[in-house]
Chain A
């Protein structure tokens, strides 16, 4: 029903966060500064996110390890007082499983690049604004699409057919799959046929 609403361009009766399949979006928010953590938590909760707030990347990492299915998104401060575990360490552990948003005070382009190359889906500058926090759900959806898209490509049927004698022909509109000298054809994996993947 919500897809029909999207397709027709109708205004949403509920927010994207509330319409998220399986219930509301769950955010792990990590920030050492209690002032900032309280403000971030309130911003997220007002927009319908379910928030688990942790006061250090160490605690955040423990929360992910204790409940790996319990979150849809991680938001973490980059710089911390602890020298051995900061937001980048948490990013390294979390980025494969969750979309991760980093945030910090004014940082150099190199630091932001490090974050993005490390797998972050966004690098925000503090102080965080309500409108930035409101829209973090987009990263969860983008990640889901990316994940399901990768699976779809891996299992996509090929459009090329290769005869047993190695010659290729394009599949026509009414192609029954027959061809070749003895009528047998072999489907060619499209990915392997491209230059980039040829071995």
Chain B
């Protein structure tokens, strides 16, 4: 049951440090026998989409003339998906990011992009660990014959 204990510790830590909020618990409650991989599916989608958006943001902010409306639109998207999955820290950084977009501050946007990237990759790494531990816990309950 080491995997289960590690999983509990990891989840407690993610909530306690503000990486996740109660919206993630809402998602966990939506998982049921008809959708046994629901949380894994949502987390995977979030990670893939988040990576794509961060890539787009980097490209937009690298241009000589920054289209702040487009940047803002992508940040809005990332903020929405992070809020839906309970990724509180990423969401809050996106809120700051939008302020710099609306202020048309390239430096502010670049600085906040770094912060979003760090928060996102930190969360993604922990999500990956969470999914691995869940698989181990499942395997120990339902070993293959």
A6 to B85, CA, bound (A): 37
Residues of A with C-beta under 8 A to B76: 79, 105
A35 touches B73 (CB 8 A): no
Residues of B with C-beta under 8 A to A36: 80-81, 84
A36 to B41, CA, bound (A): 12
- How would you classify the secondary structure of chain B's contact residues: helix, strand, loop or mixed? helix
Residue on A with the closest CB to B30? A42
Min Cβ gap A81→B in Å is 6
Residues of B with C-beta under 8 A to A23: none
A130 to B38, CA, bound (A): 15
* Number of A residues, CB within 8 Å of B: 19
A126 touches B73 (CB 8 A): no
A32 touches B77 (CB 8 A): yes
* Number of B residues, CB within 8 Å of A: 24
A35 touches B46 (CB 8 A): yes
* Residue A127, interface by CB 8 Å: yes
Min Cβ gap B36→A in Å is 12
Q: Chain A: residues with CB nearer than 8 A to chain B? A: 32-36, 38-39, 42-43, 45-46, 79, 81, 105, 126-130
Which 7 pairs from chain A and chain B are nearest by CB?
A: A35-B81, A36-B84, A127-B84, A127-B83, A35-B46, A33-B81, A34-B45
11 residue pairs A–B, Cβ–Cβ below 8 Å: A33-B49, A35-B42, A35-B49, A36-B81, A43-B30, A46-B35, A81-B77, A105-B76, A105-B80, A105-B83, A127-B86
Q: A39-B27, A45-B35, A126-B80 are in contact. List 15 more A-B contacts (CB 8 A).
A: A33-B80, A34-B45, A35-B45, A36-B84, A38-B38, A38-B42, A39-B85, A42-B35, A46-B30, A46-B34, A105-B83, A126-B84, A127-B23, A130-B26, A130-B29
